[in-house]
Amino acid sequence: MTAPTKLLIILGENNALKLTLPLGIPKNVNELKAEIENQCGVSEQFRLQYMDTDFNQFLNMTSTFDLKDMDKIKVIKTGVPETSTGSNESSVSSFNLGSPCSGHNPDYDTDILSSPESRSSSSSSSANSTLRSEAWPLDFRIPEFSFDVELQLTKGNQEFQANGTLLTLKPKLKSDILESLSSEIMKYKAYPSDSNLSDVCQALVVKHPCLKEKGSETGFSAWKISLKYKMSNYRGKLKNLGCSELVINSLKRRGNSNVHPNQVKKPRRAEVNFCPDYPAGETRESQEEERLVLLSELKKKNNNETIKAKMAQTFPHRRQEILQDMPFVADFKSRWPALFSPREINAEFQRITTIPLTSTFMAQLDNNTTKLTKVFRNKGGTSGRKITEIMAAIDENDTVAMRRVCTLKGLAVYLNEDPNSLIKEYQASNQIETISSNKNLTDGNFSSHTFIRL
């Protein structure tokens, strides 16, 4: 029997996956590319490079003959996605725990090494250029300033390295720096937190040490205060220009004298695209017409691609409707019935947060399986016996899908919940089977599946 092989798949900067292949190295490059497409969710055209041990650098891959266990594979994207709208194709339409119809093969173990903040929703951003493409970065990158500002900072850094002299800031220079930083911050969020401002200022004095402050414990205390006020002024400027995320908090827009001015609508921690502007050439009326077209498209069969495109196109309209009109859930469901399918729930989550819901959940579940297993072993009584019986199935069939199923069932029992209310197991024939309930599940040809109920 071929020994399992582990490969490190590098998708980009701060984005990598560990891929375990139980059947060993594929016979050719096309088979390896197919596995990377399925497991890593790569929807673009790409080629592969491998780390050559002789030259210690990445070389183009023409065959899999030179590959071995623990090798590094780099994915080089050469084209655009086949479908530019909708959700990531790697995100399955429900929380499918390793069924053949999903994009995840239960025999392949994938651990996501990159942080959620480093992943972006390329599909949503391509459908609507007004959307933000990524969440707040772990390491904030200071933008390139204008030529005159960069010239002054370069000379200031040289002087600082030579004799430790700090740069004497002129009001115009400081204002230009703060303006550029505010513009860069706005690419991620309109209302940065105190820690966000600290990240920016710390990155500023690290990149340009001549801007450090004398007598400051952190070296950027005054910068932080100035940036806070500059962001406030910058928001006022954008609000006057009609930025939806800021106009929504205008007292004139809210039209209620009893509303406290500090009670603003801000995105929650994970929300990146909170209240996007309408795309160029689109208005509330034109998007409402698209919503009506979407309702008619729902009545047609085999129309998933069109529905995906329409849902991505009308995303700004939905967000502004939720935030401004605050409709009841029943009314909102009647207006947007397509949103409440498992596929579109995943897509909408990714549009708002730029994070794929299903793959992120499964990755965190896999990362914490060992810790949860240790917790389960310390559980006694009736619940402990039930958990032991559930986890015993792993000994008979130790696959990724089985570990996920048993861990989730054991967690439900540990929390004194009925796992049958969370997990639905069934056997299906070769015909398409639909489970009719309030929980929407994917239709398809299945043999044996386990789904988390949505």
Sign of CA dihedral 183, 189, 194, 196: negative
CA end-to-end span of the chain: 39
Among the residue ranges 166-175, 281-290, 415-424, the one predicted with the least confidence is: 415-424
Q: What is the dihedral of CA 195, 201, 205, 206, to 10 degrees?
A: 50
CB 414 within 8 A of CB 376: yes
pLDDT-derived band of residue 259, with 50, 70 and 90 as boundaries?
low
Band the pLDDT of 202: cuts 50, 70, 90.
very high
Q: What is the DSSP string of 317-382?
A: HHHHIIIII---HHHHHHH-GGGGSHHHHHHHHHHHHSS-HHHHHHHHHHHTHHHHHHHHHT--HH
Rounded Cα–Cα distance for residues 36 and 43 (Å): 10
pLDDT surpasses 60 at 318: yes
pLDDT of residue 398: 82
How far, in Å, CA of 426 to CA of 436, rounded?
13
- Quote the tokens at residue 355: 């994070």
pLDDT at 262 exceeding the cut of 80: no
Q: What is 185-205 written as a DSSP string?
A: HHTT-SS--HHHHHHHHHHHH
pTM for the predicted model, two decimal places: 0.61
pLDDT of residue 93: 34
Q: Give the pLDDT of residue 176.
A: 95
pLDDT class for 30, splitting at 50, 70, 90? confident
Which is more confident, 279 or 226? 226
| In the chain, where the domains are located | 5-116, 147-247, 284-354, 358-452
Residue linked to tokens 């004497």: 168
| 437 contact partners, CB below 8 Å, separation of at least 6 | none
Q: Identify the band that residue 147 occupies on the pLDDT scale cut at 50, 70 and 90.
A: very high
Q: pLDDT band at residue 145, thresholds of 50, 70 and 90?
A: very high
Asked if residue 198 has pLDDT above 70, the reply is yes
68 HSE (CA, 13 A, CB side): 4
Neighbours of 311 (CB within 10 A): 27
Is the per-residue pLDDT at 126 higher than 80?
A: no
Q: Report the side by side order of strands in the sheet with 15-21.
A: 57-60, 46-52, 71-77, 5-12, 15-21, 109-112
Query: What are the pLDDT digits (tens) for 94-107?
Result: 334 443 333 344 34
Of 424 and 163, the structure prediction assigns the larger pLDDT to 163
Strands 71-77 and 57-60: unpaired
How many angstroms separate the CA atoms of 452 and 361, rounded?
Answer: 12
Instruction: State the average pLDDT for the chain.
Output: 79
Higher-confidence residue of 352 and 119: namely 352
What is the enclosing helix (H) or strand (E) of 443? none
Q: How far apart are CA 437 and CA 451, in angstroms?
A: 14
Q: Rounded CA gap, 131 and 35, in Å?
A: 30
Backbone angles phi, psi at 285, to 5 degrees: -70, -45
CB 145 within 8 Å of CB 180 = yes
Q: Which residues contact 86 (CB under 8 A, 6 or more apart)?
A: 123, 127, 305, 308, 309, 311, 312, 347
pLDDT at 183 over 70: yes
**Bridge-partner residues for 58, per DSSP?**
51
Residue 296: what residue type?
Answer: S
How much is the average pLDDT of 359-363?
87
Residue 89 has pLDDT above 50, yes or no: no
Average pLDDT over residues 217-226: 92
Q: Radius of gyration of the chain from Cα atoms?
A: 26
Q: How many Cβ atoms sit within 10 Å of the Cβ of residue 83? A: 16
CATH architecture of the domain covering 5-116: Roll (3.10)
Which helix (H) or strand (E) is 260 found in, with range?
none
Q: Dihedral, CA atoms, 178, 179, 181, 185, nearest 10 degrees?
A: 130
**Residue 369, Ramachandran bin (φ over 0: left; ψ between -120 and 50: alpha; else beta):** alpha
Residues 314-330, mean pLDDT to the nearest whole number: 91
DSSP letter at 27? S
In the block, tokens 């594929």 appear at 26
